[in-house]
Amino acid sequence: MNGILDFIAGLGRAVLDIVRMAGRVALFAAVALSHVVRPPFYWRTLWGTLVEIGYFSLPVVALTALFSGGVIALQSYTGFAQYHAQNAIAGIVILAVTRELGPVLAGLMVAGRVGAAMSAEIGTMRVTDQIDALSTLSTNPIKYLVTPRLVAGTLALPFLVLVADILGVLGGFTVCVMKLDFSASAYITATIASLKVMDVTVGLVKAAIFGFLIALMGCYHGYHSRGGAEGVGAATTAAVVAASILLLTFDYLLTDVFFSQ
Amino acid sequence: MTDTIPKIRIRGLKKAFGPKVVLDGVDLDVMGGTSFVVIGGSGTGKSVLLRCILGLITPDAGSIEIDGVDVTTLSPRQREPYMARIGMLFQNGALFDSLSVWENVTFGLIAAARAGHGPRITRAQARERAGALLEQVGMDPAVGALSPSELSGGMQKRVGLARAIAARPEILFFDEPTTGLDPIMGAVIDGLIVDCVRRLGSTAIAITHDMASAQRIGDQVGMLYEGRMIWQGSPSTLFDSGNPVVDQFTHGRREGPIKVDVRS
C-alpha cells in the first residue's frame, strides 16, 4: 500500500514540477515579448542573431534536406514499384518535404546548432557576472539578450525551411531522374501538380513557431544556468533536449490543427 | 565628510538562501565622498551585500537608503535613475566577450543615451571617449580595438574600472578588486581606484579579503561575520582592532573564535 502511495506522491511531485517549470517559461517568454514593442531596440544584436541562425545554418539544413528528399524518393520507389505506382513518388516527396521533413528536420538541426550555442553563450554570461554587469549599465538583460534572439529565431527558421523545401524536392528529383530513370519533365509536372500553397504555408507557420521555441529554450536555460562550466554544460543539454521535445510535440499539435479533418 | 545624511544607509538587512542565513541584520552607514571597505571570509555574504544594494538580489528584510530614499521599495523602473548613478567593478572584470574593449568601456554611456538617462553619443564619440578613459586607467587607447580575451587579468580589471567610471558615477562598488592579481598589479589597481574615487568625488564600497588592499582603499573598514557587521574602524587599526574575530582574520591565525570547516 505504501509503495502505491509513494508512487502516486512521486507522480504528483513530477507533475507539479512540470507545471511550475511551464509557468516560469511562459512568464519568461511574456516578459521578453513585452520588450518587442518597447524601445530601445537592439538592432545589431537582432541582425547578428539573424545572420547566425539564417545564414550560418544554411549548409547543415541544406545537406539534411537534400539527402532526406533523396531518401524519401528511394524508399517510396521500393514500396510503390510493387504496385506500379511510381507516378505518385513526386507527390509523396513534395508532400512529405513541405509538410513535415522541411520544418522538423530544419528545426532539429537548428536546435542542435543554434539552441545549444545560445544557451552556452548566455549561460557563460550568467556565470561570469556579465548579465549582472548589464543590469549595472542601464541595460535590461532580457531586453538585450533574449528579445532579439526570440525575434531572430521566429524570422529566420521560415527562411531556412523554404530553402529546405526547395532542396528536399531537388534531392527527390535528382534520385528519381539520375538513379531511377524517371523522365525529368514528367517528374517536374507531377511535382507542380502536387504542390499546394496550404502545405507550404503551414510548413512556414510551423517553422516560425519552432524557431521561437528553439530560441526560447536556449535563452531560458542559459539565463538560469548556475554553477560554473558544469552548470553551463547542463543548461546547454537541457536547452537542446527541451527544444527537440517541444518541437516534436508542437509538430503533432499543429498537424492536428491544420490537417486533421 | 561634511554630509550629515549618509550617502548609503543600510538598516537590518537580511537575506537567506533556503536554510542558509547569509545576512542577518546588517547595519551600515557610508558618508558621501568616503570609501568603505567590507572585509570578511569567503561565503560570509560580502558579495550578497553588494548585490542587494545594486538590486540584483532582493533582500528578505531591512532597508537600503541612497540619499535618504529606500531603494528596496522602488519598482525596477523607479530604480533605474539610481542605478545610473552607480558604477561597479566586478571580481573577474565581467567584460562582454562579444564586444571590443572600447565598446565595453562605453557600453553604459551608449545604453544610458538609448534609455534616455544620458546625453546622446555617436559611436565615433564613444570610441574617442573610450580612449580617454583607457588613458585614465593607465592603458594605451590602441587597446580599445582588442577583444577582452586578448587581455591579461590585470588589464581586464583596468578595462572594468574604465567601464565603471565612464558615466562619472556618484557611487562606485568594487568586488574583490585585487583577487587573482600579483601584489604589484594589485597595488596598481588599488592606486587607480583611489585616484578615480578622489577625482570623481564618488562614494565607494569595496569588498575584499586582501588586507593590504583594504588599507590602501578604505577610509573606513568593517568586518562582516555571521551575517552581521561586527566591527567598524579605521584602516590603521585593522591589525589591532581589539576584536578577537577581526584580529584572527586580519592576522590569518588558525586558532581563534572563527572556526573553519575544512570539509566544506
CA A137 – CA B246 distance, rounded (Å): 35
Does residue B51 sit in the same domain as residue B104?
no
pLDDT of B135 reads: 92
pLDDT at B3: 52
Same domain, B63 and B146: no
The predicted pLDDT at position B154 comes to 87
If asked whether residues B179 and B247 sit together in one domain, one would say yes
pLDDT of residue B127: 95
**Closest by alpha carbon to B157, among B131, B132, B190, B129?**
B190
Q: Which of A125, A129, A139 sits opposite B92 (nearest CB)?
A: A129
Rounded Cα distance between B19 and B100, Å, is: 42
Say yes or no: B226 and B246 in one domain. yes
Which whole number is the average pLDDT over B109-133? 89
Same-domain check for residues B159 and B219? no
* Same domain assignment for residues B4 and B45: yes
Q: Specify which residues B208 forms β-bridges with.
A: B39
Mean pLDDT of the B165-170 span: 91
Q: With bands split at pLDDT 50, 70 and 90, how would you rate the model's confidence at B2?
A: very low
User: Is B79 inside a domain boundary?
Assistant: yes
Q: Which of A94-98, B74-78, B87-91 has the lowest mean pLDDT?
A: B74-78
- In eight-state DSSP terms, residue B92 is T
Give me B193's grid cell. 581606484
Residue with cell 534531392: A171
Q: Name the band, by pLDDT with cuts 50, 70 and 90, for residue B261.
A: low
Q: Do A136 and B163 touch (CB under 8 A)?
A: no
Q: Mapping DSSP to helix (H, G, I), strand (E, B) and coil, where does residue B9 land?
A: strand
CB distance B54–A130 less than 8 Å? no
The total of structural domains in chain B comes to 2
Region for residue B29 given its phi and psi (left: phi exceeds 0; alpha: psi -120 to 50; beta: otherwise): beta
Helix, strand, or coil here: B203? Answer: strand
Candidates B55, B90, B115; nearest CB to A129? B90
Q: Is the pLDDT of residue B264 over 80?
A: no
Name the band, by pLDDT with cuts 50, 70 and 90, for residue B253.
confident
Last residue of a domain, one of B168, B197, B216: B168
- Band (pLDDT 50/70/90 cuts) for residue B138 is confident
> Containing domain of residue B109, as a range?
96-168
The reported pLDDT for the residue numbered B209 is 86
Q: What is the CATH number of the domain that holds B218?
A: 3.40.50.300
Domain end marker among B142, B168, B194: B168
What value, to the nearest 5°, has the Cα angle with vertex A228 and ends A223 and A233?
Answer: 70
The CB density around residue A7, as the number of other CB atoms within 10 Å, is 10
**Are B208 and B180 in the same domain?**
yes
Distance separating alpha carbons of residues B191 and A59, to the nearest angstrom? 52
pLDDT given for residue B180 in this prediction: 81
Dump pLDDT digits (tens) for B25-53: 999 999 999 999 999 988 889 999 999 99
Q: Is A132 on the interface with B (CB under 8 A)?
A: yes
CB B128 within 8 A of CB B163: no
Instruction: Parse chain A into domains and list their residue ranges.
Output: 1-34, 42-252
Residue B149 pLDDT > 60: yes
What is the reported pLDDT for A228? 87
The closest CB to that of A138, out of B54, B94, B111, belongs to B111
Q: What percent of chain A has pLDDT over 70?
A: 100
Residue B91 within a domain: no
> B55 vs chain A: nearest CA distance in angstroms?
9
CA distance B95 to chain A (A): 6
Q: What is the mean pLDDT of residues B200-204?
A: 92
Pair B80, B106 in one domain: no
Which pLDDT band, with edges at 50, 70 and 90, does B216 fall under?
A: very high
List chain B residues with CB under 8 Å of A132.
51, 54, 56, 90, 94
10 Å CB burial of residue A236 (0-12, 13-18, 19+) is: buried
Query: Same domain for B59 and B80?
Result: yes
Do B78 and B192 sit in the same domain of this protein?
yes
Domain check: are B1 and B114 in the same one?
Answer: no
Residue A230 sits at the chain B interface (C-beta within 8 Å) = no
Which three cell numbers, joined as nine digits, stand for B124? 565615433
| Banded pLDDT at B255 (limits 50, 70, 90) | confident
**Spatial distance between the Cα atoms of B144 and A247, rounded to a whole number of angstroms:** 43
Amino acid at position B87, single letter: G
Is the predicted pLDDT of residue B1 greater than 50, yes or no? no
Interatomic CA distance for residues B46 and B214, integer angstroms = 14
Q: Which tens digit of pLDDT belongs to each residue from A189-235?
A: 999 999 999 999 999 999 999 999 999 999 999 999 998 899 999 99
Mutation for B interface: A137, A140, A145, A226, most B CBs within 10 A? A137
Domain for residue B4, yes or no? yes
Kindly provide the ipTM of the predicted complex, given to two decimals: 0.88
Would you say residue B238 lies in a domain?
yes
Pair B45, B23: CB distance under 8 Å: yes
The answer to whether A34 and A151 are in contact (CB under 8 A) is no
Q: Which residue of A129, A138, A139 is in closest CB contact with B94?
A: A129
Contact B211, B238 (CB under 8 A): yes
Report whether B240 contacts B247 (CB < 8 A): yes
The residue among B137, B168, B199 that closes a domain is B168
